[in-house]
Each structure stands twice: as structure tokens, then as C-alpha cells.
Amino acid sequence: MKFSCNTVDILQALQLVNRAISSQQALPILGNILFRAEGSSCTVSATDLELSIVTYFPADIEREGAITIPAKAILNFAQYNTDPSIILEAVEGTQLRCTSTHSKTVLSGELATEYPTITPVEKKSSFTLDTASLLEALNLVTFSSARSSLRPVLSGVSLRTEGGKFILVATDSYRLSEFIVDAAAPEDVSCIIPVKVLEEVKMMLAAEKAPKRTPTEEGEKEGARSEAKPIEITLGAQQIEVRIGHTQLLSRLIDGKFPDYRQIIPKEHTCKAILSVRELTTAVKRMHYFAKEVNNNLTFSLDASLAHISTPQTQLGKDETTIPTEMTGAPSKIALSSSYLLDFLSHINTDVIEMEVTDSQHPAVFRVPTNTKFLHLVMPLRMQES
């Protein structure tokens, strides 16, 4: 294998696939990146056996071939090489000679045949999603997934189709987010996607959406946003593939049945309050200092045109505040987690939210008036006396 390429191109590709390398590897070779030079490009791949990322970059191929090199070593070379182009050549079977104008580095690797095979998805169904819609959905859903593997189905995001639309749902059993993507959807799609995969997709989409800088006669100036291409998603019986431009993410799906969450969403409410996001966020951030001493407990008392929020007495003290609200329905009271509220408030981009309360025993439902596709639910805590 021997080829030359642009230093920036290979660095960007390596940084992408490196995200699939786990700090806890079952096999030492999983700390490597696989290079395969063919035709007019070089494909690089990495996997932790659960998530695989594959991408490619243009290269002038002199001799086709493949080799696998430790990710830290090749990233270190590419990141700190200041020359605009480099030549990579496999020598003596398992070594990679990296040459540029001012440097010559030799890295020890392993044979490509020793690297685990990244199995293509056996297509069961496929569809495309708009970049902006998917990014919005992921921003508002993935944070509600469980970060523990004790219940695997809760460490993923449920994706299903219903009524010609996509529905994404995540929950850790204490809170829940649902987002409806209004797009042409095939029938009978139902799977649970590991949240790790979707977090990677989210970061890649955010990078794709960022404005590109292009050189002009006046110098470097910010250019227009590049037109985002639709995201291609392929589902197999046990795998998913997400294709974003030149990059593929492949992962196993989570086995199991996602909870029937719809039965815990209150069918009606006794009280609805419209709250300022800025005022509520400021109040909860201040009160979280005390609330975290007592299971993050905050008590909301909704009455007339005011929302009274208070913490129980703690060793640090206590706090209470009143913020104005537009309220309809009967007065109501509920205790909620300050931590979950802050997490939710940090993910929305709106001036006001609607808070629907049934009673102190049922979950509070939050909605964004300008976005009817989104719903967030927080389970109540046991109210504590001051």
C-alpha cells in the first residue's frame, strides 16, 4: 500500500472514526484504525464491536493495499504534521512509513487481516430524513435516555413509524421525551437504537450544519452554509446504518421491547401554566444549590397568576421564589427534580413553555407552544414538608 493525500483530509477522517474507539477494549487491535487504499480514495474504519464508523478521503494511490495502525499513533502524526500533504506507505508488512516535506515517521501496526470484519447491514428497510429535522429531534430526545446498561432498552431511543410519521422516544423511567418527525415514513419501522450511536450522529450533523469558511479575494471570510444532504438510514434485522455524506455509522440495535409509555402520559390535566423559560431557569439554577441536598426536590404551587417554587429545609438552608404565570384550571401542587428540570430547560430554544399538572401523583407534562411535535414528561417526587 502506498498513497499520497492532503493532511487536512486524513486528519478529519481519522478524528471521525476515532470516535468509535472505546477506552475499554475487549481486544488490543480494537485500538487500531484500518486503512484500505483502493481506486482513487482511502477508506478508514474503526469499531468497538458495537459501533463502527467508516469514512473515506481522496488519495493518489500508487499501490493498493491495507494495514491497521494504532489510532493514537496515527492521530498524533496527522495532528502535529504542518506540511500540506503526506505520503503513507506500508513497509515490511506491518509498518507504516509516513513521509512529508519536513518529517519522516515509521509506525508499527498489524496486518489488516487481523482486524475484525465490519459486517454490512442486510437491508430490511431504508429511508431518508432531513438533516435539520433529525438534528432537532435528537437534540430534544436523546438526553432523556438512561446512561446505565442495567435496563438495555432504556439506554436507547425508540424509533417507530405511525400514521406516516416517525416517532422518536427516550426515557430513563424518571423522565421522557417524544418527538414526531413529519416526514414520509415507511410502514412497520420499529427498533431501539443505542443512544451512543445517535449522540455521534447528532455531533456529525451539527458539524455538517456549521457554516463553512471559504477563501475569497479579500481573504478568509465566513461562507454560506453548505446545503445539507438528506440522511440515509438503513435498517436490518439487528443492525442500523446511518450514512452522512462520505461517512457511515453502523451499529447493533438493542434487543427487547420498549415500554408502552403512552399509558403514563396523562389524558387530561387540571392545571396548565405558561412559564417564562428565562425566569424559570434562573430560579431553578439558584434553588438547585439547596434542592440537591434533598433528592433535588422542588415543590411547585400553581395558583391564580403565580407559580410559587420552594425547597425543603436543608442543612444549607432553604429557598423559595415566585414567578408570574398565565394559568388556567384549578390550583395544583407537585414536586419535581431540579436536576431534570435544568436538563430539560438547557435543551429547548423557546421563550415560554407550557406546564400541565394533573395532581401530585401524576407526571408533569411540558410542551413548547411553538412546537407541537415535542413533548417532555417528568415524574413527580414525594412532596416534603418545609
In tens digits, what is the pLDDT along the chain, a chain of 386 residues?
Answer: 999 999 999 999 999 999 999 887 778 999 999 999 999 999 999 999 999 999 999 999 999 999 999 999 999 999 999 999 999 999 998 999 999 999 999 999 999 999 999 999 998 889 999 999 999 999 999 999 998 878 899 999 999 998 889 999 999 999 999 999 988 778 788 999 999 999 999 999 988 766 554 434 444 444 444 566 789 999 998 999 999 999 999 999 999 999 999 999 999 999 999 999 999 999 999 999 999 999 999 999 999 899 999 999 988 899 999 999 999 999 999 999 999 999 999 999 999 999 999 999 999 999 999 999 999 999 999 987 65
Q: Is residue 374 one of the residues assigned to a domain?
A: yes
One domain, residues 88 and 7:
yes
In a domain? residue 204: yes
Which residues on adjacent β-strands are paired with residue 63?
Answer: 2
Residues 16 and 37 placed together within one structural domain of the fold: yes
CATH label of the domain that carries residue 189: 3.10.150.10
Report if residue 257 sits inside a domain: no
Q: Has residue 45 been placed in a domain? A: yes
Last residue of a domain, one of 114, 149, 177: 114
**Three-class secondary structure of residue 174 per DSSP:** coil
| pTM of structure | 0.89
Burial pattern 224-261, b for ≥16 Cβ within 10 A else e, equals eeeebeebebbbbeebbbbbbeebbbbbbbbeeebbee
Instruction: Find, among 197, 131, 122, the residue nearest to 159 by Cα.
Output: 197
Within 10 A of 176 (CB to CB), how many other CB atoms are there? Answer: 23
- Boundary (domain end) residue, out of 92, 114, 136: 114
Same domain, 330 and 370: yes
What is the full DSSP assignment across 53-122?
Answer: EEEEEE-EEEE-EEEEEEHHHHHHHHHT--SSEEEEEEETTTEEEEEETTEEEEEE-B-GGGSPP-PPP-
**Residue 137 counted as domain residue:** yes
Same domain flag for 129 and 248: yes
Q: Kindly state whether residues 299 and 336 are assigned to the same domain.
A: yes
Residue 260 forms part of a structural domain: no
Please check whether residue 104 lies inside any domain of the structure: yes
Residue 157 lies in a domain: yes
- Split into its structural domains, the chain has a count of 3
Question: Last residue of some domain: 94, 114, 134?
Answer: 114
In this structure, are 45 and 76 located in the same domain? yes
Residues 40 and 107 in one domain: yes
> Based on the domain organization, do 278 and 325 belong to the same domain?
yes
What residues make up the domain containing 231? 125-208+226-252
